[in-house]
Amino acid sequence: MPQYVINGGKKLHGEIKVSGAKNAALKILPACLLSNETCAIKNIPDIEDIRRMSEILEDLGAVIVRNGSTMTVETKNIKRSNPKAELVHKLRSSIMLAGPLLARFGEVTMPHPGGCVIGKRPIDMFLSAFEAMGATIHEHEDFFTLKCHKLQGAKIILPWVAVTVTESIMMTACLAEGITTLVNAAMEPEISALAGYLNSCGAKISGAGSPIITITGVEKLSAGTYELIPDRIEAGSFIIMGLITGSEIKVSNCNPKNLETELLMLQKAGAKLEIGSNYVITKKSHFHGVELRTHEYPGFSTDLQAPFTALMTQADGQSLIHEIIFEGRLFYTDKLVQMGANIIMCDPHRVIVHGPTKLYGRKLESPDLRAGMALILAGLVAEGKTIVENIYQIERGYENIVARLQALGADITKQD
């Protein structure tokens, strides 16, 4: 199987541009199903998750053409609303197809989705929302079927903040009859981006980016051209990469306003940063331990918790990392311990990191997308050779990562 081989200790230099947002693209592609017209999406990252979503759409009958970072999606010939299990199981975000297919065809049969194993992510809230809008649900062991002749607007209160549920309801309600009010909605920038795309197609969505979103249903949606926002998680990963290696690099084509809490926490830990309107430059810094709690946006992103924890292995003193979003997401820290980190797991949601510790190259397996990036970061500062396996997980979310890091001076290769 392919693996990354990293020889640590190299200083990095230069500029790295941030790709389009993975978590926006994986919602706007399913949203294309809401229209019979052709949509053009710009700034699409070339990553495995996008390929998997494209496979599902093409299998249903969509025609997708990629030209550089622009992808055109034509959905007028889609006649099926039952994605194949073998394709759905490869991608957790495949659940985002359920709402648009239901809204368009009045019926959808979906296998339970796959994706990263980072804790329980049940689909109960999705199904409850569809039911509130008039859908009948038939659940089976391996799949579920939703049916509704005409979806109706409803008041939907989420018991806790959930990003993909918020996005799914937004999409589904666009073609429902009447008004849907979503209470306790997630506020991530990708949600505002999705609303922006849908509104450009004729939807009537207000309040996106706040806890209460209102969607007034329309008869139909058109399609057009839309450019994705920069990937804030990729930007944050690269900023931490510059810091952990003690390098001055410029992370460009990003939006620092979408990373305000993460940048604040890095600065609290001692990071020296030059922050511009669309870039961040990292400076050589001296770090000290801090307490970090992940939280829904605008809090510290759970997706940047693993890279931040890797950075804290190089900080003076003690850090407490509290992961409140996903249970089990801290289990990757045993990989850092194998490299020499001093990390104590208190429970599935909390670890204590004692630093600084010298890290040593090891052969490790990436457990998931973001933990995989943390292993790369650790490998860049480790003594000796680090081998990272199961790199498919990393390539799900980071475009052409080896070549981009090589361009900064990193000693990293992909080997079969």
Examine the domain organization and report whether 108 and 88 are in the same domain: yes
Retrieve residue 127's tokens. Answer: 């199904």
Domain's final residue, options 174, 206, 227: 227
pLDDT in tens, 54-72: 999 999 999 999 999 999 9
Mean pLDDT computed over every residue of the chain = 95
Q: How far apart are CA 35 and CA 16, in angstroms?
A: 36
Q: How far apart are CA 18 and CA 25, in angstroms?
A: 14
Give the pLDDT score at 114.
53
Report residue 361: phi and psi, to 5°: -60, 140
Q: Same structural domain for residues 301 and 238?
A: yes
When pLDDT is cut at 50, 70 and 90, the band that residue 118 belongs to is very low
- Do 394 and 265 lie in a common domain? yes
Query: Last residue of some domain: 173, 203, 227?
Result: 227
Using the predicted structure, report yes or no on whether residue 19 has a pLDDT greater than 80. Answer: yes
Of 35, 16, 18, which Cα lies nearest the Cα of 226? Answer: 35
Order of strands, edge to edge, in the sheet holding 143-147? 107-111, 143-147, 136-139
pLDDT at res. 327: 83
How many residues comprise the chain?
416
| Cβ-based neighbours of 86, under 8 Å, separated by 6 or more | none
Which residue, among 413, 347, 345, 334, has the nearest Cα to 376 in the 3D structure?
Answer: 413
Question: Do residues 246 and 156 share a domain?
Answer: no
Clarify whether residues 102 and 199 are in a common domain: yes
CB atoms within 10 A of CB 56: 20
Choose the catalytic residue: 116, 148, 201, 254: 116
One domain for residues 261 and 403 = yes
Residue 174 a catalytic site member: no
Q: What are phi and psi of 365, to 5 degrees?
A: -110, 130
Q: Do 117 and 73 belong together in one domain? A: yes
How many domains, in total, are found in the chain?
2
- Cβ–Cβ < 8 Å for 19, 399: yes
Mean pLDDT of 174-201: 97
Integer-rounded Cα radius of gyration of the chain: 21
Q: Is the dihedral of CA 338, 246, 408, 257 positive or negative?
A: positive
Same domain, yes or no: 49 and 170: yes
Is residue 374 domain-shared with residue 238, that is, in the same domain?
A: yes
CATH of the domain at 93: 3.65.10.10
**Residue 119's pLDDT is what?**
46
How far does CA 350 lie from the centroid of its chain? 22
Task: Kindly list the distances between the CA atom of residue 367 and the CA atoms of 121, 255, 392, in Å, as whole numbers in the listed order.
Answer: 17, 28, 10
> Half-sphere exposure of 398 toward its Cβ, with a 13 Å CA cutoff?
26
Residues 47 and 136 in one domain: yes
Q: Does pLDDT of 116 surpass 80?
A: no
Tell me the pLDDT tens digit for each residue of 127-161. Answer: 999 999 999 999 887 889 999 989 999 999 999 99
Q: What is the pLDDT of residues 242-265, one digit of tens each?
A: 999 999 999 999 999 999 999 999
219 and 276 fall within a common domain:
no
Query: What integer is the mean pLDDT of 194-209?
Result: 97
d(CA 177, CA 179): 7
State yes or no: pLDDT of 208 exceeds 50: yes
290: helix, strand or coil: coil
For helices 232-244 and 369-381, give the axis angle rounded to 10 degrees.
20
Domain hosting residue 41, numbered range: 22-227
- Kindly report, residue by residue over 70-113, the tens digit of the pLDDT: 999 999 999 899 999 999 988 988 999 999 999 999 999 998 77
Q: Among the three residues 175, 197, 227, which one is the final residue of a domain in this structure?
A: 227
DSSP letter (8 states) at residue 410: -
Contact 95, 122 (CB under 8 A): no
- Nearest partner of 373 among 278, 304, 314, judged by Cα: 304
